[in-house]
A and B are shown apart, each in its own frame.
Chain A
Amino acid sequence: MHSSGKTLNGSEIFIECLRREDVDYIFGYPGGSLLKVYETLYDVNDIEHILVRHEQGATHMAEGYARATGKPGVVLVTSGPGATNTVTGIANAYMDSSPMVVFTGQVPSALIGNDAFQEADIVGITRPITKHNFLVKDVKELAMTIRKAFYLATTGRQGPVLVDMPKDILNASCTMDWPETVEIRGFKPTIKCHINQVEKAAQKIAQAKRPLLYIGGGVISAEASEELRALAIQQNIPVTMTLQGLGAFPGNHPLSMGMLGMHGTYWANQAVNRCDLLIAVGARFDDRVTGKIDTFAPQAYKIHNDIDPTNVDKNIQVDLPVVGDAKNFLAALLDVMPGTQENRDPWLAEINAWREQCPLSYSSEDNALRTEFVIEEVSKQTKGNAVVVTDVGQHQMWTSQFYTFINPRSIITSGGLGTMGYGLPAAIGAAFGIKDRPVVLFCGDGGFMMNIQELVTAVHHKIPIKIFLINNSFLGMVRQWQELFHQEKYSFTDLGSSNPDFVKVAEAFGCKALMADNPDGAKEAIKLALAWNDGPILVDFRVVKKDMVFPMVPAGGSISDMLLARLNPKTMV
């Protein structure tokens, strides 16, 4: 243990620990239990505190920052309502395995359990949605607890960790001991893959005639894109990615097949159906990917590499589990694979035929503005180099289809929880972390209203995010299900008569704003927005109201149930 020798109070220890953890930003909101911390923060210059306007915003900002940079996001909120407001953001980070440390103030230790003013049992509330959480009981444990929290959040399968700090602990003093190393006996993640398993996998790959790489977000958090690219190209294996895996392999490479699953490409889903070897890396066979389990990749020998052993054989029984870090797995495979390979031309030709048979497309007959066009245009104008953040809904799925992701850490989106309201704060957080690439947000007119207050945060800090509001006057994704599966009863999804004038709203926040309602106008607006760097800019894209996202494998369905277009042309707009 390294002792600084100085006596510090809990608040000073807290700040000193964040320094040692190399924290640049705290996304926070003050309150009674944190007054001492905010007193300390007043004179801190080397860590920037970003004042959000709602604690949920702080959590999504921290997650956006984490996903863009790979560093853990840090949140600081007060007890009671401050803490409960973080619940959705924590659950989101848990489902998407994002590294995050949330610090909550708590009522004084002596009052815990008494229904004290602004008391909430946040440790109890967040137990099932954190990787781990702590209540600090002694100021002498504070430094070690913070060290453990960062270690847990960033090691093995990443995730959110919460530290609850009672007010008296933040006021009490002790000499600070900074532990140089952490040892948690119940936490020993397997990083290195078992070589026997890797060798078996290599053998299977060498023999496969129709192999397919199925890549998830684990490859991105493990920073394993280079290894993936090397393996896929050397072995001539096509690559399909999950929503969180997009960008792990360059979308403009001939071996890239785009996303699989419910709104995946026709050819990726056909390839899953036909492959004789499926190599899942850092992916978890989520139901949005597999559809009906019994008919998922029915002909394939299945290899599954995941850092979290609980993911193996959870949703689907695999033939060869390989527990360990994705980077380690892919590098080890490259090590043992011979450079030669089976002739895979017939397989690639088969895939290309599917691609030609059913490409991603959209109507451009009328001069109407469509979401697909907007996204494709942004993709072209940014050359696939933007950090793209989305909210949840149709625009999110279209982003996965029509933006060509070239690099890892290019898509930031709520996958596991599907949290509307995620996009705006996540984009702001990403832009705090990444200054040399444009950060663009595609957001629905429904979801934008869910954390719209954070527009102030963006304006105040002159964050140059491009807010591309996909305004279809509908809760579009719900409308789509209503049309397809619920007798066209558009129950409470039409926002047309109640949406505000988004340009005026943005302007009232001090944000530059434009409107576009046709393709040419949209092109111009995108150009202007990408050139604008004096704070955020919003473009209100008035897109057609009733488009649907295709292909679509209905929930729980098989590839053979895939819908490729609207069935009933009379309802076309």
Chain B
Amino acid sequence: MKHIISVLVENKFGSLNQVAAMFSARGFNLESISIGETEDREISRMTIVTRGDDQIISQVLKQLNRLVDTIKVIDLTRQPHVERELLLMTLKLTKTQQHEIFELINVFKGKVVDIKQKSITIEVIGSPDKINTTIDIFRVYGIKELARSGAVAIHRGE
């Protein structure tokens, strides 16, 4: 099963490497990892998406906790949380398909961030599932390039 884990780490050189190296050394699946500063500049938040059965996930959580630079590890999967991912995608633009593409951008609540004669770059924000669907749908129009941020997630407020 897919799990989304939020990890607070010391904001310093090597923390990301420690976590990534632990995943590869222990053979854990790592679907995405993203990191950024938090409200406290000494602490960064990592959002990790991984897959595994209960036993594996319990090991993942314990191994994360064991790293000296991790301060807090929270498995958000079964808790109320918000999860978002950013997609940037450049598509081929042809006269015939232009109309359909703009319509779909609206459907997915995307935004046009750049437009050229023969290409258009859009951004879409949503859950990783929505991003997957977006990519699938747009594939027929010819994706030139795409970049995904990986998920970030946070507890829902009280």
Contact = CB atoms under 8 A, between A and B. Distances in A.
B58 A313 contact: yes
Given A185-B71, A186-B10, A310 B66 contact: yes
A113 to B, nearest CB: 12
Interface stretch (B14-22, B84-92, B103-111, B143-151): B14-22
B70 interface: yes
A317 B62 CA distance: 15
A16 interface: no
A185 B17 CA distance: 19
Contact of B68 (A124, A187, A312): A187
Range class of the B interface residue count = 20 to 34
Given A127-B18, A127-B21, A186-B67, A309 B62 contact: yes
A441 B25 CA distance: 34
B69 interface: yes
A184 B68 contact: yes
B21 A123 contact: no
Contact of B71 (A132, A186, A310): A186
Nearest to B73: A186
B103 to A, nearest CB: 49
A128 B21 contact: yes
A234 to B, nearest CB: 33
Contacts of B69: 132, 186
A135 interface: yes
B30 to A, nearest CB: 15
Interface in B3-30: 9-10, 13-14, 17-18, 21-22, 25
Interface residues of A, number: 20
A308 B66 contact: yes
A314 B17 contact: no
Contacts of A537: none
A132 B68 CA distance: 7
Contacts of B71: 185-186
Most chain A CB within 10 A, of B9, B18, B66, B70, is at B66
Contacts of B21: 127-128
A184 B13 CA distance: 16
Contact of B17 (A124, A184, A317): A124
B17 A152 contact: no
Contacts of A167: none
A186 B14 CA distance: 14
Interface of A: 123-124, 127-128, 131-132, 135, 137, 152, 184-187, 308-310, 312-314, 317
Given A187-B68, A308-B66, 19 more contacts: A123-B14, A127-B17, A127-B18, A127-B21, A128-B25, A132-B68, A132-B69, A137-B13, A185-B71, A186-B70, A186-B71, A309-B65, A310-B59, A310-B62, A312-B62, A313-B55, A313-B58, A313-B59, A317-B55
Interface of B: 9-10, 13-14, 17-18, 21-22, 25, 55, 58-59, 62-63, 65-71
27 contacts: A124-B17, A127-B17, A127-B18, A127-B21, A128-B21, A128-B22, A132-B68, A135-B13, A135-B14, A152-B68, A184-B68, A185-B71, A186-B10, A186-B67, A186-B69, A186-B71, A187-B68, A309-B66, A310-B59, A310-B62, A310-B66, A312-B62, A313-B55, A313-B58, A313-B59, A314-B59, A317-B55
Which 3 residue pairs are nearest across A and B when measured between Cβ atoms? A132-B68, A310-B62, A128-B25
